[in-house]
Copies of this chain bind each other. A is one copy, B any other.
Amino acid sequence: MKVRDFEQGRCFLARLDLDAEIIGQITDLAKSEGIETGVFSVIGALKQAELACYDQTAHEYRTIRVDGPVELVTAWGNVSLRDCRRFVHAHAVLADSEGRTRGGHLMKGGVFAAELCMQELVGEPLIREHDPATGLYLWGDR
């Protein structure tokens, strides 16, 4: 297990913009506020979204399109660095008008309304590196 400890920095609450793309908005907040490491949650509603499931054998993401309006029951994720840029890793649970849920890696989503809580973590930044065993970019030793 690779472990790094941080101190809490600022905590941001944000109302995301109607019709914006959710991952882009979260990335923009991290950039504009200078957050290199953080964790976040979001609740709200999306106009449409794209989830993904990682194929653990083929080492590829399989896309899952979610058409039509859905509740963003919750999204949770983190911010760290990859290739010297801020990288947002987010997972989400979505629900339709009857409460039926779909979940996975959140690739993108069109915001209807979304309330974000971003906790800045202060310490040596985590850097994602390619991990041959999984094919993913995971936190490395640096």
Interface residues of A (CB under 8 A from B): 1-8, 10-18, 20, 25, 28-29, 33, 37, 39, 41, 43, 45, 47, 51, 53-57, 62, 64, 66, 69, 71-74, 76-78, 80, 89-105, 112-113, 115, 117, 119, 121, 126, 131, 133-134, 136, 138-139
Q: Assuming A1-B17, A13-B37, A95-B103, what are 14 further A-B pairs, CB within 8 angstroms?
A: A1-B14, A1-B28, A1-B29, A11-B121, A13-B80, A15-B138, A39-B117, A43-B76, A71-B103, A71-B105, A73-B93, A95-B102, A95-B104, A100-B102
A-B contact pairs, 15 of them (CB 8 A): A1-B14, A1-B15, A1-B16, A1-B28, A13-B121, A15-B139, A18-B134, A43-B78, A43-B89, A53-B99, A73-B93, A94-B103, A95-B103, A113-B131, A113-B136
Bound form: Cα–Cα A69–B83 in Å: 28
Contact A2 B18 (CB under 8 A): no
Bound form: Cα–Cα A113–B54 in Å: 10
State how many copies of this chain the complex holds.
3
